[in-house]
Structure 1
Amino acid sequence: MPLPAWNDPELDAGTMIRGALWLVQEIGEGSTFTKEQIREAFPGISQADRRIRGLRDYGWVMLTNTEDATLTAEGQRFVKAGVPVWDPAARRAAAPQKPVSAKKKQGVLADDDYMCTVCGISGGESYMEDSNQTAVLSVTRRTTVLPDGREDVLLVTECKRCRSGADGSPARADEALAQIRGLDPGDRQRIQRWMERGRRGSTPLERAWNDYRRLPADARDSVRAALES
């Protein structure tokens, strides 16, 4: 199917879509363009340059002089076209996801006991193999295979290091269920009790350490001072 012309007055599309067509039809991959060219192509359109930059959220690659030293401050290089945003179905499928609200993030962190679900480290805790690096937790989206085989994208707490080292494979609730069902009856009862309590069995030492690590920094200092006095 031929592409619609970027400057077709009958085209019912916004500046980002028209800008994508303009890049493909007038500039071409590998070529450069300037903000002045954008202003000339889209006269009277407020912030047309910013709207065209929004194509980066759809996989379009455009470089500025901070990324390509051969460019001027006004210049950009159109490297590669991404999602064909003039196709409504393709655009909807690739639309950037809405940010997670602060309230939702706090709920996910609390559900995950303020610990990374991958390595189990708490926020602000030092890594055992690198005491100079402390864990930073965030709530991220992860594709998950549910027990019935369906896939869904769910929120989970991960530390920055585990998130950056992830291979993109989905979490497997179906496999976890199969492993639990394969346990002997005693272990299966034990893990079900952990599920009911929302935490696994732990020693008093582990519970004291986790409670301490979740305190604000000033409160941790006060606890240490009280123990030393």
Structure 2
Amino acid sequence: MTLAAWNDPDLKAGTMVRAALWLIQVVGEGNTFTKEQVREAFPKISQADRRIRDLRDYGWVLFTNSDDARLAAEDQRFVKAGVHVWDPVARRAAAPQKAISNKEKQAIMARDDYMCTVCGVSGGEAYLDDSNQTAVLSVVRRETVLPDGQEQTLFVTECKRCRAGSDGQPARADETLADIRDLDPGEQRRLLRWIERGRRGSTPLDRAWNSYRRLPADARDEVRAALED
């Protein structure tokens, strides 16, 4: 597998991935590097050193002077590479897993309006292109690149179909922000209003439908019966 250059401007990867490639391509296993070299390599990333430390969670071995007394305080040694974090599948499989309680799952689903964050379908709703299949929602982990280049694993609500069709690529908050900044000022203000409301200008009918779909089946029957009276 040919690795992308760590400083390739077209590389769609967060700071942790770029830092891993930098360690391999510039520093090399067994060699030392300093915080100053990290700052020079990633001049616009305030927490690049922290992203390098995050590599330890993926089996990368990095020594400081607390691990090796021969190192100066500002030095670190790149001892050994670990999981190939530039491979989304390998990174996701090796990511430290945080247990999530049922209470937290319910809170995340409520935050996401009990809808899939990818396609917008509500739980139990039939898909428009396949009325025989209804959406099953769950809370999943999604690798996300934040606007500052930092990578985090965040929780989101997704339906089973979207989860199965995922390409494993991280969500790109940095690219989203860039796209928003390309909008004209009027469009940006309109989008900001949607963001503040937490929804895209939905109609009362849309909101009533989503509220109805979140009800247990027996309660939906009661509502339907009341409307038919």
Q: Distance in 1 between matches of 2:119 and 2:186?
A: 26
Q: Distance in 2 between matches of 1:98 and 1:205?
A: 38
TM-score relative to the length of structure 2: 0.57
Distance 1:95 1:145, change over 3 A: closer
The answer to whether 1:204 aligns with 2:201 is no
| RMSD, aligned CA | 2.0
Residue 63 of structure 1 is matched in structure 2 by none
Deviations 1:4-24 (A, max 9, x none): xxxxxxxxxxxxxxxxxxxxx
| CA shift for structure 1 position 100 | 1.4
Residue 51 of structure 2 is matched in structure 1 by none
| CA shift for structure 1 position 96 | 6.0
Residue 180 of structure 2 is matched in structure 1 by 180
Distance 1:95 1:184, change over 3 A: closer
List aligned pairs for 1:45-60, cutoff 5 A.
none
TM-score relative to the length of structure 1: 0.57
SS in 1 for 2:155: strand
Residue 213 of structure 1 is matched in structure 2 by 213
Deviations 1:154-199 (A, max 9, x none): 1111000000110100001011111111111111111111111111
| CA shift for structure 1 position 204 | 2.1
List aligned pairs for 1:17-56, cutoff 5 A.
none
Q: Distance in 1 between matches of 2:197 and 2:138?
A: 24
The answer to whether 1:193 aligns with 2:175 is no
**Unaligned residue ranges in structure 2 (runs of 5+):** 1-79, 84-92
SS in 2 for 1:200: coil
Matched AA of 1:164: A
Q: Distance in 2 between matches of 1:203 and 1:197?
A: 12
Residue 131 of structure 2 is matched in structure 1 by 131
Residue 146 of structure 1 is matched in structure 2 by 146
Residue 32 of structure 1 is matched in structure 2 by none
Q: Which runs of 4+ in 1 moved over 2 A?
A: 93-96
Percent of pairs with identical residues: 74
Matched AA of 1:113: D
| CA shift for structure 1 position 131 | 1.4
The answer to whether 1:222 aligns with 2:222 is yes
SS in 2 for 1:118: coil
List aligned pairs for 1:57-76, cutoff 5 A.
none
Greater RCO structure (CA 8 Å; 6+ sep): 2
SS in 2 for 1:154: strand
Q: Judge which range, 94-103 or 178-187, deviates more.
A: 94-103
Residue 118 of structure 1 is matched in structure 2 by 118
| CA shift for structure 1 position 98 | 3.8
Residue 57 of structure 1 is matched in structure 2 by none
SS in 2 for 1:109: helix
Number of aligned residue pairs: give it. Answer: 140
**Unaligned residue ranges in structure 1 (runs of 5+):** 1-86
Matched AA of 2:142: R
